[in-house]
Chains A and B, each alone.
Chain A
């Protein structure tokens, strides 16, 4: 059993943050909210999303599991105007999702969850450094790095106490330093890792510029990026594996 009403913005934010990594996903319809976990085909980037029942206008579920084609569902959600509500209801018999936006009704065929790539194990990482910054600064870092390179190094200078972004291109370089004053918070620790911008650019698309974003970093370790959405009732965590740094 699943029946819920949610604002178009909240649903769209949730779907977008998953669809940057995968086309299809499993959605757990838990009693206290939605859960999605997915990993990209190369097992490099992962998303873990939860959307609390409180984020919905109304929410009823009893622990089912459905598989969806994300771009389809995004297209449908895109039909809603800003501020409109979307009603979702699962037909257990036909295994279809009935979606209603005002007078518009859409019946979405679901995908067999068993045919969707297995959900990832979440790495249990002890990352020593924590950087909390505004979404727009993440955006700025990624955009600047992308101008010169396809990789980005993220790190913390423990001595000088700042968070930095490095990108080295064939000819040009980008370096950005954000100190305690530029950041919302900085917890110092040894951190320096190199990441593929292909992934980070996609993840960045889902990060709202006015949101508080936390980056957990280590040395040659994955980065954990997390932020809230849907008035704090939703939570997205990305995890991205590093590239090996060549000398």
Chain B
């Protein structure tokens, strides 16, 4: 297809505002796409490369302005282009406003090939070359390549080329529109197209498969080792809600880390996107990497995370795709905040040095593929079983699940109390809280569905007076814990719950020192305290309850901190509790 034709079609789509009409235009475009259907299915979304591919053009706006200026003719420079952009506001419009083509090519003088129209294929090939250009002077070379394209553009072509290059296509075509268009163009069911897109993450390829191999071809599309799929995402949710919706909940710790998708094949990955610009098919098998790690945005982060590669080499024996988190840990193996992980994640240079400063370790909670078998459709519990067996390859079955390196534990329960205690343990271990999953649900890449919930963070916190506590047991025998919380009702204090979670041993010791002088009475482990100290506590919701004297209970209360600046007279009132509950 001529690039001019594509530009014309893009302009038609640009002019449509209704979703249905847009899908219709894209459908027609795909039907007419001919041999360049892969490229066209991506270009129309403003993409140059498939979503699984980490390759980027790496062209800054200034390089693009420079190329436009050079192609624009006599004495136009990048500043002029920028001035015009400031005036007009959109790069496509700016590019379309110049007259290109002043520079002739040598081809025009060799006879034959000179003066041909630019094709979609040529644009794609040139942009692929451009992406592969690296090293010193590469920005100049990128400008040269772009200049070569702009120089051959008429104004509509230039408009969409500029937008494509700067990732500002914005003609209203999203992934959904292309999915629907593929289904309509080749008369295939939406859900099967959707599935193929999810596992392949490649709109171009699926458009071709849909056209040439139909339903059978679509259904045969599998996950491929070395090509990332989009991560399944979670919604916010509450324990109460999920226990109402599902018979049981699968509960996991929510790690304060960065999401990774690990692809590993002991015999070398089928696709090795590590070497950009070099087709993996063109390279000998033994040079293919065995492990690749991708971020949530499907960027290749393998090189930044040597620990993950080592983990895979040391632990795994079969081809797998695993979903998990990398967490930063201190020397004692305790988790460090998320920011520390990020320091490692985008690291390109001095990785070894960074590794000395902050070590990371992977924890996996899902298994998408194992030993030739795609598991996306399997329920959470079965995928987790498979995950455990994959991670047990070297340690065998003699150790408990908690001793399987890299395994995130999973509990199946319908007991809110147990969920609460799992949450407490997670927080105590320094993690973020818990994830709740429907045990029967499949893995749906890229979807923020209802099947995964992260426990909603505290909506608000309350400042409550501590009116009682219990002496701990075992190693915590000398600490006060399980603090009774109260709110003011006129001159009296009424209880609203007990907080025992979210507190480290160190903190417990500190709180004991703070509260012990205020002990009014003791009865076995039970301690009554004079109202003196105010805690800030988070909670999931406020419920009516016969258990506490206020008539209300805080659901899943957690300790946030001591309000040293507040006295019991400044604590929350029952009235406010009631108003929070009704809001």
A binds B: yes
Would you call B105 and A125 a contact (CB within 8 A)?
Answer: no
Given contacts A23-B137, A196-B70, contact A241 B144 (CB under 8 A): no
Minimum CB distance partner of B76 in chain A: A150
Within 8 A of B (CB), among A196-247: 196, 198, 221-222, 239, 241-244, 246
Contacts of B104 in A (CB 8 A): 44, 241-244
The verdict on A121 contacting B110 (CB below 8 Å), with A149-B75, A244-B104 known, is yes
Pick out which of these stretches binds chain A: B145-153, B198-206, B490-498, B510-518: B145-153
Pair A244/B101 contact, Cβ less than 8 Å: yes
Q: How far is the CA of A198 from the CA of B151 in the complex (A)?
A: 14
B76, B105, B110, B133: the one within 8 Å of A42 (CB): B105
Please give, as numbers and ranges, the residues of chain A lying within 8 Å of B75 by CB-CB distance.
149-151, 168-170
The answer to the question of B266 belonging to the interface, with a C-beta cut-off of 8 Å to chain A, is no
Which chain B residues border A150 with CB–CB below 8 Å?
70, 74-77
Complex contact B148–A125 (CB within 8 A): no
Most B Cβ at <10 Å: residue of A39, A44, A169, A222: A44
A92-127 interface with B by 8 A CB criterion: 117, 120-125
Residue of A nearest to B106 (CB): A241
**Nearest-CB residue, chain B, relative to A198:** B70
A241 touches B77 (CB 8 A): no
Q: Are B103 and A243 in contact (CB under 8 A)?
A: yes
Alpha-carbon separation in the docked complex, A69 to B138 (Å): 12
* Cβ A43 vs Cβ B74 within 8 A: no
Query: Residue B103 contacts which of A39, A71, A120, A241 (CB distance < 8 angstroms)?
Result: A241
B67 CB to nearest A CB, Å: 10
Q: Is the CB of B105 within 8 A of A41?
A: no
Residues of chain A contacted by B144 (CB below 8 angstroms): 40-42
A133 within 8 A of B: no
Q: Shortest beta-carbon distance, B180 to chain A, in Å? A: 37
CB nearest neighbor in A for B107: A43
Chain A residues in 8 Å Cβ range of B138: 23
A29 located at the interface, meaning its Cβ lies under 8 Å from any Cβ of chain B in the complex? no
Count contacts between A and B, CB distance < 8 Å: 84
A60-79 interface mask toward B, CB cutoff 8 Å, 1 = contact, 0 = none? 00000000010100000000
Tell me if A129 counts as interface (CB < 8 A to partner B). Answer: no
Report the nearest A residue to B279, measured CB to CB: A115
Q: Which residue of B lies closest to A70 (CB)?
A: B137
B135 contacts partner chain A, Cβ-Cβ < 8 Å: yes
Interface assignment of A51: CB less than 8 Å from any CB of chain B = no
Residue of B nearest to A39 (CB): B106
**For residue A39, which residues in chain B have a CB less than 8 angstroms away from its CB?**
106
A185 to B271, CA, bound (A): 61
Given A42-B144, A149-B75, A196-B70, A123 contacting B102 (CB threshold 8 A): no
A42 in contact with B103 (CB, 8 Å): yes
Minimal Cβ-Cβ distance residue in B for A199: B103
Q: Counting CB contacts under 8 A, is A46 at the interface?
A: yes
B102 touches A246 (CB 8 A): yes
Within 8 A of B (CB), among A18-60: 23, 39-46
When each residue 218-254 of chain B gets 1 if its CB lies under 8 Å from chain A and 0 otherwise, what string results?
A: 0000000000000000000000000000000000000
- Grouping DSSP codes into helix (H, G, I), strand (E, B) and loop, the A interface class, with mixed when no group exceeds half, is loop
Cα-based distance from A181 to B103 in the complex (angstroms): 33
A243 & B102 in contact (Cβ 8 Å cutoff)? yes
Most B Cβ at <10 Å: residue of A43, A169, A221, A241: A43
B148 contacts A43, C-beta separation under 8 Å: yes
Given A169-B75, A244-B101, A246-B74, A41 and B145 contact (CB-CB distance below 8 Å): yes
Q: Which residues of B contact A40 (CB under 8 A)?
A: 144, 148
Known A41-B129, A123-B110, A241-B109; judge A196-B136 contact (CB<8 A): no
- Quote the shortest CB–CB distance from B127 to chain A (angstroms): 11
Q: Which residues from chain A contact B342 at a C-beta distance below 8 Å?
A: none
Contact between A42 and B145 (Cβ–Cβ < 8 Å)?
A: yes
Which residues does chain A contribute within 8 Å of B105, judged by CB atoms? 42-44, 241
Bound Cα distance A222, B103 (Å): 11
**How many angstroms between the C-alpha atoms of A123 and B113 in the bound complex?**
12
Which residue among B70, B75, B145 has the maximum number of chain A CB atoms within 10 Å of its CB? B75
Docked CA distance A67–B104 (Å): 28
| B70-84 residues at the A interface, CB under 8 angstroms | 70, 73-77
Which residues of B146-170 have CB atoms within 8 Å of chain A's CB atoms?
147-148, 151
Q: How many whole Å from B74's CB to the nearest CB in chain A?
A: 6
**Does A196 lie within 8 Å of B106, measured CB to CB?**
no
- Asked if B74 and A151 sit within 8 Å, CB to CB, the answer is yes
Chain B residue numbers with a CB within 8 Å of A121 are 110
Q: Which of B73, B106, B110, B136 has the most CB of A within 10 A?
A: B106
Contact with A along B86-118 (1 / 0, CB 8 A): 000000000000000111111111100000000
Known: A42-B144, A44-B105. A71 touches B135 (CB 8 A): yes
B277 to A, closest residue via Cβ? A115
Evaluate whether A239 and B106 lie within 8 angstroms (CB atoms) in the complex, with A23-B141, A41-B129, A71-B137 already known: yes
**Contact status B106-A120, CB under 8 Å:** yes
Nearest residue (CB) in A for B138 is A23
Within 8 A of B (CB), among A141-176: 149-151, 168-170
Instruction: Tell me, in angstroms, the Cα distance from A45 to B105 when the chains sit together.
Output: 8
**Also in contact, A42 and B148, with CB within 8 A (given A151-B75, A196-B70, A246-B102):** yes
In this assembly, does B126 line the interface, its C-beta being within 8 Å of a C-beta of chain A?
yes
Closest Cβ of chain A to B330, distance in Å, is 41
Point out the residues of chain A lying under 8 angstroms from B108, CB to CB: 241
Q: Which residues of A contact B133 (CB under 8 A)?
A: 23
Known: A23-B137, A39-B106, A222-B106. 12 other contacts (CB 8 A): A40-B144, A42-B103, A42-B144, A123-B109, A149-B75, A150-B74, A151-B74, A168-B75, A196-B103, A241-B103, A244-B101, A246-B74
Could you list some 14 contacts between A and B, CB below 8 A?
A41-B126, A41-B129, A42-B105, A71-B136, A117-B129, A120-B110, A122-B110, A123-B106, A149-B75, A150-B76, A151-B74, A168-B74, A242-B104, A243-B104
- Across the A-B interface, give the 5 residue pairs with the lowest CB-CB distance, nearest first: A42-B148, A43-B105, A123-B109, A41-B145, A241-B104
Give chain A's interface residues, CB within 8 Å of chain B: 23, 39-46, 69, 71, 117, 120-125, 149-151, 168-170, 196, 198, 221-222, 239, 241-244, 246
